[in-house]
Amino acid sequence: MVKINVYIERDDVTKQVEISKKTTIKDILIQLNINPVTVIVTKNDELCDESEEINSKDKLKIISVVSGG
C-alpha cells in the first residue's frame, strides 16, 4: 500500500490516505467519511469521476459544492 495526500478545501487541510492498486476516488471519499453527492473532486487539477482509479503520483483536491436559494 502507498499513501497519497488529499487536500480537503472545506477544512483547508491535507490528509494522508492509504491506497492500493485499484483504489478509486469513491473509495477515498468513503474512507474520509465524505458524501460524494456534496463534493467534486479534481485529480491533477482536472475534474474527474468518482469511478476513476488513483495512483501514487496523483494530486487530489476535494471541493465542497454549495447551493442555496
4 is written with which cell numbers?
A: 497519497
Please report whether residue 38 resides in a domain.
yes
Structural domain harbouring 24? 2-64
User: How many separate domains does the chain show?
Assistant: 1
Mean predicted confidence (pLDDT) in 32-54 = 95
Look-up of cell digits 485499484:
22
Q: What confidence tens digit (pLDDT) does each residue in 49-61 have?
A: 999 999 999 999 9
Please report whether residue 54 resides in a domain.
yes
Q: Evaluate whether 17 touches 7 at the Cβ level (below 8 Å).
A: no
CATH of the domain at 28: 3.10.20.30
**pTM here?**
0.88
CA distance 38 to 1: 28
Please report whether residue 69 resides in a domain.
no
